[in-house]
Structure 1
Amino acid sequence: MPWCLGRELQLPQQVAFDVMLAILWQLWKARNALIFDQKFLSPTDVLRRAVDDLGSWSCRYKALEPHLQCWREYLLNRL
């Protein structure tokens, strides 16, 4: 339930929505890797890849970049 992550952070919804999309995207990619390549990615791998994506997307968040950084740290602390 990625949409429940970070409720306590009280950060802008715009950033939270994109964080959830990054997590869901990586879950989808992990599912495809398992089905098509027989490669298992652990939940930690999936979350780490989502955090990496957020780092790549940081250029989209000029004014909100501190909020994105807060999300990245939050997710990394969950690993």
Structure 2
Amino acid sequence: MGVGAARRKGCAVALEQMPHLRQILTTDADCRVSPDWVARSIHHLQRFDALCGRVTLNPKRPPVWRSKTQCLRPMK
């Protein structure tokens, strides 16, 4: 099972076991969120059905897509 499928299954199980839930917040394992991420997300979810945040790349760590693209270059 991939990460997306596992996340969807986890959300479905959470909603089955706790039908009173109004929101489920998720993020990726390699993401860092601000200390007030939960509070701000809940605040904005009072007005919107879905949210996504700003993505800022870490300059010390190349993005995965860049690393994979570099690996796909033809060998000389």
TM-score (norm 2): 0.29
Higher relative contact order, chain-length normalized (CA < 8 Å, sep 6+): 1
More helix by share: 1
